[in-house]
Structure 1
Amino acid sequence: MQRAQLLRDSFLNMDAFHKHIVIGTAITAGVALLYIRHRRRNKVQTIPIGEGWWGAGERIQSEDNNIYPFEVQTTDDEIKDLHERLDKSRYTDPLEDESFQYGFNSTYLKTVTSYWRHEFDWRKQVVLLNKYPHFKTKIEGIDVHFIHVRPVQKKNQKVLPLMLVHGWPGSFFEFYKILPLLTESNDNLTFEVICPSIPGYGFSEAPHKQGFNSLAAARIFLKLMERLGFSQFYLQGGDWGSLITTNMAQMKPLCVKGLHLNMFMIRKGFKVMMSLLIGSYLPFLVGLSREDVRRLFPFFEKTMWPILRETGYMHIQATKPDTVGCGVNNSPVGLAAYILEKFSTWTNLENIALVDGGLERKFSLDDLLTNVMIYWTTGCMVSSMRFYKENLGGDLDKRIDSRTRIFVPTGLAAFPGELAHTPKLWAQTKYHNIVSYTFMPQGGHFAAFEEPQLLANDLIQFVRKVEH
């Protein structure tokens, strides 16, 4: 206090000239501090790429970097075993007037099983899966599977590399309807698409060691793109694919020309809390649009309750994945119920009130069961579940933390059926170069599978803005 008083007295006793010098110096210092803070805030930050080894046993000194063609196959024994298990399935009768409120309705499950057993043609679907070229390559000790679709380039047409990344309980097959929309364009722009299977999913080998999370997957996919000869490329993802591609942009922003997401996770902060407190009453004060308000409020009914109701699986898979995984990995009917229930409510939350879960309103049983068969024939259900434990085990906040900002051009497609809506205002706390934010007119969590044309259109318009 005495020192402050002395400084104040000294200032008051100065002549006008020296007072101006002191005031000018203080203003200059303040402006400098604000500038430094601004530079730090907008400095491109990166996540360390790191290194890993996920193969069995000790790490080998030299790894085979070759890329090998791969073909999806089946056998009579595989199909016979499936049919025998389907024939021996046991069911529990649903409660009276039950739809999907208790999970997958067993009456409709019998219908799905009957179709699977007597009408679904796995050999035909294998031919469909092999429509596009499949490959495998060894990265960090494990085989990484991907499809690589090259367009037939037309005159004066720009070809841009694009990686599409799926999530759970999906697979690379989710993108089969959007692939021709991206690679068979007659316009002046088209894509060369790489669509990998996350390690532990589908035909990618499962990690043999603990700790394989989104950062490890991001690093492996960056190495894959480098091995394929791409120094710059676009990324698109939803679900886990959203986090993986975001991590890729955080690791090597100079390689990512643009990042397009149909699900975007942010860490809740002050801005979000203020939006929730007063957004439904005075949305203009917190930067919410009318559509944001319509999708967010009433908050408990439209956001909190659906998340609580739909994420029970997450707590199981983030703690004891091998236990529940053992059951569904040995029962095709249990596997189908566990997976397809997500394609019901995550497509439209209102489907919970329908006896058939609304599954065939947006998908065919052939498409749904093909995705299930990818899990069944590869036995990857347990390893896909483990991805939750590895990601939710302690440092997820750090990987979705807004302090590790993304400055690459970003396009966000907000589908109304997604479990939780993220307004552009919130997304800007993490994604600092949002080139495109679209309120999609319809569609849910599995955007590429459900609304391929809408997603393709939004992705293309985003890329055009970036390339302009």
Structure 2
Amino acid sequence: MGFLARVLFVVLSLGTAVIYQNYKNISRPIPPPAFDVNAYWGPGPASAYKEDPSIKPFSIKYTEAANELKQQLARPLKLHAPLEDVNFEYGFNTKALRNVIAYWRDNYLTRWSEREQFLNKFPQFTTQIQGLKIHYIHVKPSNPGKKKVVPLLLIHGWPGSVREFYELIPMLTTPSKDHDYVFEVIAPSLVGYGWSQGSSKKNFGPLEMSVVFRNLMLRVGHKKFLIQGGDWGSVIGSNLATLFPENSIGYHSNLCFTNSILANIKSIMTNIYPSLFLEKHQEEFHVPSLDKFYNLLEESGYFHIQATKPDTIGTALLNNPVGLAAYILEKFSTWTNLQYRKLPDGGLTKKFSMDALLDNVMIYYLSDSITTSQRLYAEQYAQNQRDMQMDRVATTTPYGCARFRHDLAHATDWQLKEKYENLVHSTYHNDGGHFIALESPKVLYEDFVEFVKKVVT
């Protein structure tokens, strides 16, 4: 072997060794971060706090506030006319917004007592955990008969609320002749959302919220339970299933992703050679990723604002019902189907009733929770949360992924297995968007039950 050949051999050998070592480093799971299961997040010093473990009934009652809101919406609307030939491409079309406000004022709010009764249809409670008042819905199945009753923690996201689950909960808690399982549902408002008190201290992110919700489940009497979530619910649910496998029977998500370096490398490889890693019907969910990235970039301006200056945008929306409705409902348009941007009304009532959409807006408005809800973005992307590297902490809890065609992002099984070592359920649905529990509760229910059959014995 000549001198140059020997040098080349050595260089290639060293390069291969470096690549292999780096691969081992980025693919090796890391241990869970240290955390305090009793950390105090309320106002003032922890030394002055004594937790009240009692559980108190809760109901929504806002007659005076609803009347004041109706008067506020009766004021002349000062809105810029949309550009010619523009629908929802620039955001919420103001012609469509006038129609929404008119319906809200002249129809919905005239029936507020009816809507209030609807929002109170399920038993609701509050309890104090780690210095925070936590609000939750708790529905036990009536007459389960011989069906196996399994506790279920149901977790929503932003800009949703527990209202997303009102059509799903009866399916989960009513015995079905087609399935052996029925569920006892605990659906909390996220910390800082609705009537769950926001943290008074920095560094309360999705990991810390997963601890609170695990403690909530223990409070209501369940040491082991199922978890289901989308949006922030998928992040919180993932953290809970990862950090507390001893409490988690299984975790099912309708927004499936992982953001490790190796998972992102796999995404690139999948886009270069999709036929090697995907079945034909799966390709449209994942490729071409560049187009999907551009769409995500176009739709994520809110994300950057809320991850950097949540209190500024929160101040702009607080006590501003017209702005609040536009800001929230625009997401129910584009996140349900990006093609709805081309429609004059944003396609809002193609999949949802206007009453359901306004119920959700009312929860944010009446509870003054828009600012505290948006702080979760800033906390998730703060340095302390990034340092925890939760995407590199292996999840051993059985995991199920349900993908819906028009959701914001999707990960392949190949990517997900970098984190979720026990991926037991993976499905693709050719319709449906981000708010699937509200859009197609029956489809989500059936997918979830199929997952449960694989993990509950």
Structure 1 moving runs of 4+ over 6 Å:
none
Q: For residues 19-418 of structure 1, what are the structure 2 equivalents within 5 Å? A: 45-50=31-36, 51-59=38-46, 60-75=48-63, 77-88=64-75, 89-120=77-108, 121-187=111-177, 188-270=180-262, 272-277=264-269, 279-280=270-271, 282-285=273-276, 287-301=277-291, 303-398=292-387, 401-418=390-407
Q: What amino acid is the match of 1:165?
A: I
* 1:110-153 residue CA offsets vs partner (Å, 9 max, x unmatched): 00000000000222111011110000000111100000000013
**Cα 1:399–1:148 shift into 2, 3 Å:** farther
Q: Does the CA contact (< 8 Å) of 1:218 and 1:244 recur in 2? A: yes
TM-align CA RMSD: 2.0
State the one-letter code of the partner of 1:283.
P
Contact 1:169 1:339 in 2 (8 A): yes
Are residues 427 and 400 of structure 1, via their aligned partners in 2, closer, same or farther at CA, if it must alter by over 3 Å?
A: farther
Distance of 1:153 and 1:47 partners within structure 2: 42
SS at match of 1:300: helix
AA partner of residue 116 (structure 1): W
Give the CA deviation at 1:250.
Answer: 1.6
Tell me how far 1:289 sits from its aligned partner: 2.5
Structure 1 residue 185, shift from structure 2 partner:
1.8
Name the CA distance, whole Å, in 2 between partners of 1:396 and 1:324.
Answer: 22
SS across alignment from 1:92: coil
Q: Distance in 2 between matches of 1:275 and 1:208?
A: 38
Q: Helix, strand or coil: the match of 1:62?
A: coil
Alignment partner, residue 453 of structure 1:
442
After the TM superposition, which of the residue ranges 258-267 and 374-383 deviates more from structure 2?
258-267
User: 1:154·1:186 contact (CA, 8 Å) conserved in 2?
Assistant: no
CA distance in 2, matches of 1:86, 1:159: 45
Q: TM-score with structure 2 length normalisation?
A: 0.89
Which stretches in structure 2 are left out of the alignment for 5+ residues?
1-23
| SS of aligned partner of 1:372 | helix
Q: Which amino acid aligns with 1:48?
A: A
- Over 3 Å counting, the alpha-carbon distance change for 1:107 and 1:465 in structure 2 is same
Contact 1:275 1:283 in 2 (8 A): no
**Contact 1:404 1:430 survives alignment (8 Å):** yes
- Deviation of 1:423 after TM superposition, in Å, equals 1.1
Counterpart amino acid of 2:96?
Y
1:189 Cα deviation after fit? 1.2
Q: Give the structure-1-normalised TM-score.
A: 0.87
Q: Which runs of 5+ in 1 are unaligned?
A: 1-36
User: Which residue does 2:8 correspond to in 1?
Assistant: none
